[in-house]
Amino acid sequence: MTDQELQRLVETISERDFGKPFRHQAVFNARLKTTGGRYHLKDHHIDINPKMLTEFGESTLEGIIKHELCHYHLHLAGYSGQHRTKAFQQLLKSVGGLRYAPRLATQSKRKPKRILIYQCEQCGQRFVRQRRVDTTKFVCSRCVVGYCCCRFVRHRKK
């Protein structure tokens, strides 16, 4: 599907389901990674994630377009188009739009957390951290030695 076909689809959905014309631009934006679409308040154009069409099909794409058109029409009518408002939720339900975009396959794989373990050479106290600690600046809080006595033991992935 091209940007021109997307534009025509958005215009027809707007006329059919909302009874109002869509007079701005709708384009595919491949830089969207975690969301199905985005409505821009300043210039009123709509960005759609092209992966929603390729991975989930046209019915999901229509649901996302309806969601973004809810933001669009409420904002132009002078109402708040935020997700938490009753007006948005009622309009979205009445037109049958999607509340959430489905999770993409590339989204589900998270990097495991890196956990660093430091151990005091004097008392043996262990410190578990997610961020690196500069052992030249920080000392053990248990034995409060005036010089650095902690050393890096190992890191593991959780």
Which residues are identified as catalytic? 68
Cα distances (angstroms) measured from residue 63 to each of 66, 85, 100, 103, 125: 5, 19, 9, 14, 55
Contacts 24+ apart (CB under 8 A), 45-50: 46/10, 46/72, 48/6, 49/101, 50/1
C-alpha dihedral, 61 to 62 to 68 to 69, nearest 10°: 160
Length of the chain: 158
